[in-house]
Amino acid sequence: MMKDRFGAKNQRTWLMRFHTQTAGVSLPAQQPMNNIARVAIQALAAVLGGTQSLHTDSYDEALALPTEEAARIALRTQQIIAYESGVTQTVDPLGGSYFLENLTLQMENGTFDYFGKMDAMGGMVKAIERGYPQKEIAESSYLYQRAVEAKEKIIVGVNEFAIEEESPHILYIDESVARQQSEKLKNLRARRSNDEVRRALDALKKAAAQEPKAAASGTISSANTMPHIVDAVRAYATVGEICEALRQVYGTYTEVSIT
């Protein structure tokens, strides 16, 4: 793609590095310990797929933020795959599998079909503005949900093999964090130079309003917002203040209706 479509010459540009996370959506709240098995299977798939980095979900993710124990089991699952399963000992162990190579080709062909459709729409931003990918996803999601409700797709412990159970121990975050953060903000605004913050934010707004163009090699566009954001951060401007400055220049977005 990078080579054929964009004329990239560097092989580092052609290759794809990717991170994988196991599917949070596949982890139900019912019988949450079963999720340890699901995560292990999904993580194995990611490693067999050649991922460069991996996040394994904690089994209690559908309920709340992971407890320390759940976070540790998730990490241990990765370690068992890396150090015990044996799949890391040989390069791409499933390469050449008839099944896998057939699926890979189906994915590749299907992907290029979608590319053709979205090229015809004038690119992804245009496709989003007319709700195309949103509509495609909503339809797939509906078909899957319908199959689950009809028990045509089985989710163990949810629509089959369900049991009565008590609610498990979960990590609960109370409002004290909000109070603590608000207190810190109050102190910060009293301590920092608010003039300096204002100057940095004004400079950011000015740059944000201009059209950036790549300059001669060795420098970056004079209207690039990053150096101004770095200055604002150094002056201890807050996330809210910097985003508000950009909201004033760019406005906010409301989604197109896809129905």
Binding to other proteins, residues 99-138 (CB under 8 A):
99-108, 110-111, 113-115, 118, 123-125, 128-129, 133-134, 136-138
The answer to the question of residue 190 lying near other proteins (CB under 8 A) is no
Question: Quick one: CA torsion of 76, 79, 85, 87, rounded to 10 degrees?
Answer: 140
What is the rounded distance in angstroms from the CA atom of residue 40 to the CA atom of residue 75?
Answer: 10
- Nearer to other proteins by Cβ, of 115 and 165: the residue is 115
Stretch that binds other proteins, among 28-36, 67-75, 162-170 (CB under 8 A): 67-75
The answer to the question of residue 233 lying near other proteins (CB under 8 A) is yes
Least separation in angstroms between residue 198's CB and other proteins is: 15
Least separation in angstroms between residue 167's CB and other proteins is: 18
- Nearer to other proteins by Cβ, of 162 and 185: the residue is 185
Which residue in the set 166, 239, 257, 259 belongs to the binding site for other proteins (CB under 8 A)?
Answer: 239
What string of DSSP letters covers 201-240? HHHHHHHHHS-----STTS--TT-SHHHHHHHHHTT--HH
Which residue in the set 84, 255, 257, 259 belongs to the binding site for other proteins (CB under 8 A)?
Answer: 255
Least separation in angstroms between residue 230's CB and other proteins is: 5
Question: Quick one: CA torsion of 149, 42, 140, 150, rounded to 10 degrees?
Answer: -10
Q: Is the backbone of residue 96 left (phi > 0), alpha (psi -120 to 50) or beta? A: left
What is the rounded distance in angstroms from the CA atom of residue 169 to the CA atom of residue 167?
Answer: 7
- Between the alpha carbon of residue 194 and those of residues 143, 191, 206, 225, the distances in Å are 54, 9, 18, 20
Which residue in the set 33, 69, 88, 162 belongs to the binding site for other proteins (CB under 8 A)?
Answer: 88
Least separation in angstroms between residue 90's CB and other proteins is: 7
Furthest C-alpha separation in the chain: 68
Residue 138 CA to its chain's centroid (Å): 18
Closest listed residue to residue 35, CA positions, set 67, 64, 57, 19: 57
Least separation in angstroms between residue 144's CB and other proteins is: 6
The answer to the question of residue 95 lying near other proteins (CB under 8 A) is yes
By CB under 8 A, the residues from 156 to 185 that bind other proteins are 171, 173, 175, 177-178, 180-182, 184-185
Which residue in the set 17, 164, 166, 190 belongs to the binding site for other proteins (CB under 8 A)?
Answer: 17
Which residue in the set 130, 153, 169, 206 belongs to the binding site for other proteins (CB under 8 A)?
Answer: 153
The answer to the question of residue 80 lying near other proteins (CB under 8 A) is no
